[in-house]
Amino acid sequence: MKRKFFDEITVEIKEDEPRQMKLTYYMLIDSVREEYCDLKLYGVEIDKEDVFSGGVCENESKIIKNLFFRLSEAEAFLTKLVNARVTPMGLMSAVSEHIGERIKQLTYEG
The residue extents of the domains of the chain are 2-109
4, 26 in Cβ contact below 8 A?
yes
> In this predicted structure, what is the pLDDT of residue 80?
97
> In this predicted structure, what is the pLDDT of residue 18?
87
3, 28 in Cβ contact below 8 A?
yes
> In this predicted structure, what is the pLDDT of residue 75?
98
23, 87 in Cβ contact below 8 A?
yes
Instruction: From first to last of the 110 residues of the chain, give the pLDDT tens digit.
Output: 999 999 999 999 888 888 999 999 999 999 988 777 888 999 999 999 999 988 899 999 999 999 999 999 999 999 999 999 999 999 999 999 999 988 888 887 65
CA distance 39 to 2: 14
Please state the pTM of the whole predicted model. Answer: 0.89
